[in-house]
């Protein structure tokens, strides 16, 4: 075959990209052997689609190109598959991920397959037009481009995370000056005072403030903390569930958890490394666009800050 070597190289590059992109940790699915098998096999299909599409395009085989575009479109179902898998696990989770975290994870998995297709196609194109070596270079560049586009920001980049003291005052539980909850049983209050650890999260800028304002983001942090440190809760002890409460005046968030492993430093590290959900950043980005755009800023100044076209508090709802 005229393009056999280039297709084979593109296929190998795509499979390698999927292997390198395969992540398995306490946050994401798959974390089981069958999950690995499923995603690696789907990665082979994605790599094959990208590798074969290039020769078909060069030979102007439009029917084949249309077919492979339809195949690529089917990878959109990956998001639905991941979403359904994670939602099926939610009912058995003591500390759920939350719908926003699930959607974020599902979107990441879908994006990885598109990166595989691009890497495979770039490698094949480079091998056909120049040489196998340049094809490998093109594939590597496409892979690095994909990593840059899919880089996940963490909470610790825009939020200060520090340890905080947990106190019980009467029937109320506090983390420093932020009220967490009221606990009726004296035995439970004593247990919380002895075993609970807390943290205060302070936003460093507007992005950090929006991150902490998102309920889905706070739920994601609680899930990650519970997954790593463990929790001393069951169906009949909801008072020991991890909680995150926000101070409406300062924007700070207090986190309280009664862990199996009471390592305070580990809690702080997990909170810092929690990925920032895309849904937690929409407002900040919109405000930044409006603030930096000279036309919108000038119009807002003329109208005294009440521009219905540029101010998200006006007509853009």
The per-residue pLDDT for range 291-314, each reduced to its tens digit, is: 445 554 555 455 554 443 444 333
Instruction: Classify the phi-psi angles of 86: left when phi > 0, otherwise alpha if psi is within -120 to 50, otherwise beta.
Output: alpha
* Confidence at residue 314, expressed as pLDDT on a 0 to 100 scale: 38
**Same domain as 173, residue 147:** no
* Confidence at residue 34, expressed as pLDDT on a 0 to 100 scale: 65
Q: Residue range 38-66: average pLDDT?
A: 85
Q: Residue range 16-37: average pLDDT?
A: 69
**Same domain as 138, residue 169:** no
Of 151, 179, 202, the residue at which a domain comes to its end is: 151
Q: Model confidence at 59, in pLDDT bands (50, 70, 90)?
A: confident
Count the neighbouring beta carbons within 10 Å of the beta carbon of residue 312: 13
Task: Give tens-digit pLDDT for 64-107.
Answer: 777 777 877 777 787 888 888 888 888 888 888 888 998 888 88
Task: Give tens-digit pLDDT for 156-171.
Answer: 999 999 999 999 988 8
* Confidence at residue 22, expressed as pLDDT on a 0 to 100 scale: 80
**Same domain as 161, residue 101:** no
Cα–Cα dist 115/50, whole Å: 10
Smallest CA-to-CA distance from 11 within 55, 61, 57, 46 is with: 46
Does residue 308 lie within any of the structural domains?
no
Does residue 305 lie within any of the structural domains?
no
Task: Give tens-digit pLDDT for 104-143.
Answer: 888 888 888 899 999 999 999 999 998 999 999 999 999 9
**Same domain as 147, residue 8:** yes
* Confidence at residue 160, expressed as pLDDT on a 0 to 100 scale: 94
Q: Residue range 170-189: average pLDDT?
A: 88
Cα–Cα dist 40/263, whole Å: 36
**Same domain as 182, residue 126:** no
Does residue 249 lie within any of the structural domains?
yes
Q: Would you say residue 43 has pLDDT above 70?
A: yes
* Confidence at residue 1, expressed as pLDDT on a 0 to 100 scale: 52
**Same domain as 63, residue 178:** no
Task: Give tens-digit pLDDT for 213-260.
Answer: 999 999 999 999 998 888 887 766 778 889 999 998 888 999 999 998
Does residue 171 lie within any of the structural domains?
yes
Does residue 45 lie within any of the structural domains?
yes
The HSE-up count of residue 282 (CA atoms within 13 Å, CB side) is: 6
* Confidence at residue 67, expressed as pLDDT on a 0 to 100 scale: 77
**Same domain as 139, residue 12:** yes
Residue ranges making up the domain that contains 61 = 4-151
Cβ neighbors of 176 (< 8 A, separation 6 or more) are 164, 165, 198, 200, 254
**Same domain as 41, residue 101:** yes
Q: Would you say residue 6 has pLDDT above 80?
A: yes
**Same domain as 136, residue 110:** yes
262 versus 95: the higher-pLDDT residue is 95
**Same domain as 160, residue 138:** no
Of 151, 181, 207, the residue at which a domain comes to its end is: 151
**Same domain as 47, residue 15:** yes
Cβ neighbors of 229 (< 8 A, separation 6 or more) are 257, 259, 260, 261, 262, 263, 266, 267, 270
- Which tokens sit at 135? 């094809």
Does residue 309 lie within any of the structural domains?
no
Does residue 269 lie within any of the structural domains?
yes
Q: How many separate domains does the chain show? A: 2
Of 151, 183, 209, the residue at which a domain comes to its end is: 151
Does residue 286 lie within any of the structural domains?
no
Q: Would you say residue 315 has pLDDT above 60?
A: no
**Same domain as 177, residue 145:** no
* Confidence at residue 89, expressed as pLDDT on a 0 to 100 scale: 82
């Amino acid at each position: 075959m005229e393009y056999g070597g280039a297709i084979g190289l593109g296929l190998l590059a795509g499979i390698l990209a999927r292997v390198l992109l395969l992540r398995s940790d306490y946050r994401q699915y798959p974390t089981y052997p069958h999950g690995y098998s499923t995603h690696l096999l789907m990665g082979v299909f994605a790599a094959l689609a990208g590798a074969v599409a290039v020769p078909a395009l060069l030979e102007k085989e439009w029917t084949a190109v249309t077919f492979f575009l339809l195949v690529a479109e089917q990878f959109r179902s990956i998001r639905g598959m991941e979403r359904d898998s994670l939602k099926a696990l939610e009912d058995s989770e003591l500390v759920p991920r939350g719908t926003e975290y699930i959607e974020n994870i599902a979107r990441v998995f879908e994006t990885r397959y598109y990166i595989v297709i691009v890497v495979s196609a770039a490698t094949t194109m480079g091998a056909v037009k120049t040489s196998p070596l340049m094809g490998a270079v093109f594939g590597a560049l496409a892979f690095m481009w994909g990593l840059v586009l899919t880089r996940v920001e963490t909470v610790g980049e825009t939020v200060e995370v520090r340890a905080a003291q947990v106190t019980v005052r009467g029937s109320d539980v506090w983390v420093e000056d932020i009220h967490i909850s009221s606990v009726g049983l004296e035995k439970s209050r004593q247990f919380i005072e002895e075993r609970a650890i807390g943290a205060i999260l302070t936003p460093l800028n507007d992005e950090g403030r929006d991150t902490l304002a998102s309920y889905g983001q706070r739920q994601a942090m609680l899930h990650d903390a519970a997954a790593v440190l463990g929790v001393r809760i069951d169906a009949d002890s909801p008072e020991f569930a991890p909680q995150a409460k926000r101070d409406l005046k300062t924007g700070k968030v207090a986190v309280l958890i009664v862990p199996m492993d009471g390592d305070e430093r580990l809690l702080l590290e997990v909170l810092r490394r929690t990925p920032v959900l895309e849904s937690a950043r929409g407002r900040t980005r919109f405000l930044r666009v409006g603030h930096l755009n000279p036309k919108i800023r000038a119009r807002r100044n003329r109208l005294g800050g009440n521009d219905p076209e540029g101010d998200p508090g006006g007509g853009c709802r």
